Amino acid sequence: MHTQQVGQHGRRPRWWRGAVGYEVYVRSFADTDDDGIGDLPGVRGRLSYLADLGVDVVWLTPVTPSPQRDHGYDVADYLGVEPAYGTLDDLQDVLDTAHGLGLRVLMDLVPNHTSDLHPWFLDACSGRDADHRDFYVWRDPAPDGGPPNNWVSHFGGPAWTFHAPTGQYYMHLFLPEQPDLNWAEPRVWDAFDDILTTWFERGVDGVRIDVAHSLVEDPQFRDNPLLDTPPQGSGGTGSVFDRFAHIHDLDQPGVVDIYRRWRRIADAHDAVLLGEVYVLDPTKLQRYVADDALHSAFAFDAIKVSWDAWEIRTTLGPYVAACDDRLSWPLSSHDDPHAAQRFGGGEVGARRALAYLTLLCALPGVPFLYQGDELGLDDAVLPDGVAEDPIAVRLGVRGRDPQRSPMPWDDGPALGFTTGTPWLPVGSNRTATDTVVAQQQTPGSHLDATTSLLSLRRRLPALTGDAPLEWVVEEGPVVAVTRGDEVLVALHVGDGEGDARLVLPEEARLLYATDPAAFLVEGELTLPEDVAVIVALDPVADPETAPEADPAPDGDIEEVP
C-alpha cells in the first residue's frame, strides 16, 4: 500500500508529512496571571518544551470569546480572543514564537454551532424576519406542540428548545446554549469563507474542525430509529443519545461539499484541515479525506480499543487500508481518558501507553499526543462537587474533567500550573514525581522515552514517508508491522505466557525499545509483555549506520511459538 501522489486538489502542505501533533487544552496548560486559568502567554512560554519533545504541530483548543458553558466550544465571536486567555496580540506572539521554533499551530474551529450569545443568534431571536434568522435551524412545533422530531442532544434531553417569542423550536445537538448553524443557508458558507481566510492570513497554519460530521441535517428532519441496545464500543455516556441510530442528524451526504470549498481556501494558504470526524467506519470516513476534501481526519477507534492484540490489529488495519496516510492517530484527547488510564492506570497503564504510542508512530499519518501523555499520566482523581464538564453536570456521570485537569510542571501546591487556585484541581493522585521538571531530571523517565521515540521517528524516512505498511503477525499477542523492507515495529500486548520471540534477518538491529528488557541477538528478538520495539531490518534504515550500509538482506519474519 503506497501513499498516493496527490495532484492539484490533493496537495498537502509539505510540513504536514511525517509530523507529530500535540493537543494543548489551553485552559489547563499553563497560567501566567495567577487567576487559575491557563492562558496564551502560558502556551507561548512552553512552546520550547514542545519543540524539544519532538512535536511539529500544536493544536490549541478554542481560544475565541465564549461564555464558557462548554469551555470554548460555545463561540460568541469567531475572530476574537477570549479575554481570560489573553489578547489577539498574545495569540500573534504564540504564532510568531511557534514559527520561530519550527512549530505549526492549528486553531479549533467550531462550525456546527455558536453560543446563544453570539450576535447572529441574538439577532435571529428578534423575530422570524430577522436578518440572521436563517443562520440557525428553526422548525415549527409538532402537531401536539412538542419538538419537531425525536432528535436528542449529546448532553441529554431533546435537541430542540422552544423559543416562545417567535413560536418555533431551534435545534441544538449539544447544549441549549449552543444553537446549531444552518448550513443550508448560503450566507453561512460565505461567513466561514471569511473566517477561515482571516485566520490563515493572520498566520494560523490550519484548523481542527469540531464535530466535522455534524454540520448537515436530513432536509426532511425525519425521526431517528430507536435502538434495542446501544452499540458495543460506542464510547457513549450511557445517555439517551446512545439509544438512537443517528442516520438523519449526523454524517449526512452534503457535509463533504463544505470541506471541498474550504480545501481551496486552505490550499491557497498552505494550511491544513483536520477533521474531528466521529465516524467509526473506515469506508465512511474515507470520503472525508478525499483528494479535494479534508487533508486529515482523526481515527477515533484508536482511542476505543482495549489492550488486546486481535482488537488492535482488526480495528486499526481497516483504517490504514481505507485512508492510508490521511489519518491522524490520537493517543488520547480532552474528550477521552488518557491512554494510561484506559490501559490499566498507574505504572502498568503508562508502560502500555508508551508501547501503544510506538505502534501509532509506525502507522501512515500523524500521531497526536494529548498534554500529559508524554509524562505517562493517567486521569486525575478529583473530589466530589468540582464538576465543570456539561456531561457530568447534566447527566450525573464521571464526565471529562479528570482528563482535563491542569498540566503538572513543577513541585508546588498546584504543581507549577499556577500560583493561584486552579480552575480544576490538579488531582489527589498527582505528585512531584509526575511533573515535567522531575521527569526531565530522570534518565529513562516516560518523558525521556517519549522524546527518544519521537526523535527516532523523525530520523526514519520509512516511518514518515511513503514506505508501504504490512501487518506481519496475523495472530497471537504480538502486533507487528513493517514499513517497506526497512523497519519493523512490534508491540507485545501479552497473554500471561511471558516473553515473545520473533525471528528476524540476522542483520536486523534494535533501534528503540520501550523497556531495556527487550533485546535482539543474531536475528532473534525477545519481547517482554507490554513492550514495543523499533527494529531496522535493513542497515540502510539505521540512522547510525546508513551511510556505510550494505544492500538490504533477504529474510522472513516469523513468530517463535
Give CA 343 to chain center in angstroms. Answer: 18
Triad 149, 154, 160: Cα angle to 5°: 35
Residue 544 is among the residues annotated as catalytic for this protein: no
Query: Amino acid letter at 462?
Result: A
Q: How far is CA 175 from CA 116, 146, 244, in A?
A: 10, 18, 18
Which stretches of 396-552 are DSSP H helices?
A: 436-440, 446-459, 461-464
Here the contacts of 398-403 (C-beta below 8 Å, separation 24 or greater) are: 400/334, 400/335, 400/336, 402/337, 402/341, 402/427, 403/332, 403/333, 403/334, 403/335, 403/336, 403/337, 403/338, 403/341, 403/370, 403/379
Q: Which helix (H) or strand (E) holds 355?
A: helix 346-360
Note whether 218 and 252 are within 8 A (CB): yes
Residue 276 is among the residues annotated as catalytic for this protein: yes
Note whether 216 and 173 are within 8 A (CB): no
Catalytically annotated residue among 210, 378, 515, 529: 210
Residue carrying C-alpha cell 462550525:
111
Counting beta carbons within 10 angstroms of the beta carbon of residue 521, is it exposed (0 to 12), middle (13 to 18) or buried (19 or more)?
Answer: exposed
Catalytically annotated residue among 276, 401, 515, 530: 276
SS (H, E, C) 169-220: EEECCCCCCCCEECCCCHHHHHHHHHHHHHHHHCCCCEEEECCCCCCCCCCC
**Considering all CA atoms of the chain, what is the largest pairwise distance in Å, rounded to the nearest integer?**
80
SS (H, E, C) 92-142: HHHHHHHHHCCCEEEEEECCCECCCCCHHHHHHCCCCCCCCHHHECEECCC
Give the integer Cα–Cα distance in Å for 190 and 67.
25
Note whether 137 and 182 are within 8 A (CB): yes
CB contact set of 107 (below 8 Å; sequence gap of 6+): 59, 60, 62, 63, 199, 204, 206, 207, 208
Among 484, 480, 485, which Cα is nearest to 525's? Answer: 480
Give the integer Cα–Cα distance in Å for 243 and 346.
33
Q: What are phi and psi of 499, to 5 degrees?
A: -60, 145
Give the integer Cα–Cα distance in Å for 306 and 513.
22
Residues identified as active-site? 210, 276
